[in-house]
Amino acid sequence: MKIRYISLLLFAVLFSFNSTSAQVKKNNTPNIILILADDMGKECLGTYGGTYKTPNLDKLASEGLKFNYGFSQPLCTPSRVQIMTGKYNYKNYVEFGYLDPNQKTFAHLAKDAGYKTCIAGKWQLGANNKLPAHFGFDQYCLWQLVYSREQGERYAKPLIEQDGKTLSSTDNDYGPDIFTNYVLDFIEKNKDNKFLAYYPMALVHDPFLPTPDSKSWKTGVEERHKRDTANFRDMVAYMDKNVGQIIKKLKDLGIYENTVIIFTGDNGTGKSVVTQLKDGSYIKGGKGLTIDRGHHVPLIVNYGSNRYKVHQTDDLVDFTDILATISDAVQVKVPVEWNTDGNSIFSQIKGEKGNSRQWIFSHYTPIHSKDADKHSARFFRNHRYKLYHDGRFYDLVKDIEETQSIAEGQGSPEAEAARKLFKAEFAKLPAWNFGDPGQPKYVLPGLESQRTSEVKGE
């Protein structure tokens, strides 16, 4: 009897120790908030030299860590597929507006670590309301899930689906407010748990319409649906306001210090937008283009207060790195069979040195339209030099718009060394030619398209 009692006591102690260890490990992992602005190059933020009002993001950069060389894909779906799966597009990109249902995402990693997960904002990855859960999200509030853009917009009187229901809306409702409030509510409900919130924003994509803070919004319902590029300035400011609301919520709940906030953009600014910088120069939006202004995006991270001695870095980062970073943050290894490509920047997020890349790579085939597809390309680049699959080679310091390719052997020793490195990396890739199709399209049973020509639940 005494032996049995001692055995039970030892079991209880060991169980308690293991449970405590697991709890300590859980408590040592941060919450994750990933915010992806839509159609916003880095020139739009004050911290990168822009003239729009972005005080919340500028402060996040000054207190956190600003990456000067963050790179997306040049268009929305290619970027979303890449950031969610941690893979270059040649491995898993099927077509515009679709994510291969066989793929795993950073949300799966978070769930494996016991996190609660949600997604709010723009979907555009397949027309079935079971897909968010399939890709690892416990909750969703989304535009462009089952319904198409043609059936309803995202701003005034938005067409939004939330957790299996189509929300009713009026011209007084504003989509970005609905998305932001959903994220705030998710944070509130899970303040005592670990959570990952992915917010692929609707702002600042066209149509360029007034926000609730715009003067024209207050003049009448009709004005809320009038398109004008001049509204872009207000849209950027409102996007920043939404980010500020999330930061405030974290601080009010006392969980800011243990939350990693990652803010970036999915591609360059819309082509119709011309942004003036503080130095008096202008940048025309480069969305869809493979030149620098098409895929050079803001990337700001923060992990609590007083963590950073240096508040900016020239480390190279591309969108494959985000899944690897989340893997490190939640302490769940990426399975080898996922065949991902990224390098974690979690060390940098913690205020440490980290291991920086030598280059970033892009395989860009949007499979969208003739106008978009004509820019399909593969390229490697670093801070200064860039080599395309067809041999075009540029010095981006001297020729940021890529007007004059440097013939082989005609560059500086530094340039030719970069060309040699990039050519060696190209040799490791599977063959690809301009015009080649994407990966085969799979549709899993139960995840077939639900898209309909009728809008239900008005």
**b/e per residue 92-119 (b: at least 16 CB within 10 A):** bbbbbbbbbbebbbbbbbbbbbebbbbb
C-beta of residue 317 within 8 angstroms of C-beta of residue 69:
yes
Fold of 29-360: Alkaline Phosphatase, subunit A (3.40.720)
Average pLDDT over residues 209-218: 97
The percent of residues in the chain predicted with pLDDT above 90, rounded, is 92
Using CA atoms in the order 70, 73, 74, 75, what is the torsion angle rounded to 10 degrees? Answer: -130
Helix (H) or strand (E) holding 365: none
Question: Please, which contacts does 251-255 make with residues 24 or more away whose CB atoms are closer than 8 Å?
Answer: 253/187, 253/188, 253/191, 255/31, 255/187, 255/191
pLDDT confidence bin for 453, thresholds 50/70/90? low
pLDDT, position 438: 95
- The pTM of the full predicted model, rounded to 2 decimals, is 0.93
C-alpha distances in Å from residue 175, one per residue of 156, 214, 368 = 7, 15, 25
pLDDT, position 1: 43
Helix (H) or strand (E) holding 168: none
pLDDT, tens digit, 9 for 90 and up, residues 288-327: 999 999 999 999 999 999 999 999 999 999 999 999 999 9
d(CA 335, CA 323): 12
CA nearest to 231, candidates 273, 263, 286, 187: 273
Q: So where are the chain's domains?
A: 29-360, 377-426
**b/e per residue 230-264 (b: at least 16 CB within 10 A):** ebbbbbbbbbbbbbbebbebbeeeebbeebbbbbb
Instruction: Enter the tokens of residue 434.
Output: 């301009």
pLDDT, position 264: 98
Helix (H) or strand (E) holding 34: strand 31-37
pLDDT, tens digit, 9 for 90 and up, residues 6-58: 444 444 434 443 433 333 344 589 999 999 999 999 999 999 999 999 999 99
Instruction: Enter the tokens of residue 130.
Output: 């079971």
Residue 301: beta bridge partners? 65, 262
d(CA 244, CA 308): 20
d(CA 123, CA 117): 15
pLDDT confidence bin for 278, thresholds 50/70/90? very high
Instruction: Estimate the crossing angle of helix 232-252 against helix 55-63, to 10 degrees.
Output: 50
Beta-strand relationship, 195-200 and 116-122: parallel
Cα Rg of the chain (Å, integer): 23
pLDDT confidence bin for 452, thresholds 50/70/90? confident
d(CA 147, CA 453): 8
CA nearest to 36, candidates 371, 291, 264: 264
d(CA 105, CA 101): 10
Residue 409 has pLDDT above 90, yes or no: yes
CA nearest to 313, candidates 262, 356, 266: 356
Beta-strand relationship, 116-122 and 139-143: parallel
pLDDT, position 457: 36
Q: Rounded to an integer, what is the distance from CA 374 to the centroid of its chain?
A: 24
Average pLDDT over residues 273-279: 97
End-to-end CA distance of the chain: 70
In 293-433, the DSSP E strands lie at 296-303, 312-318, 360-364, 377-381, 385-388, 393-395
Mean pLDDT of the chain: 93
Average pLDDT over residues 120-149: 97
d(CA 183, CA 396): 39
Q: Residue 16, exposed/middle/buried by CB under 10 A (0-12, 13-18, 19+)?
A: exposed
pLDDT confidence bin for 155, thresholds 50/70/90? very high
In this structure, which amino acid lies at residue 123?
Answer: W
d(CA 356, CA 343): 8
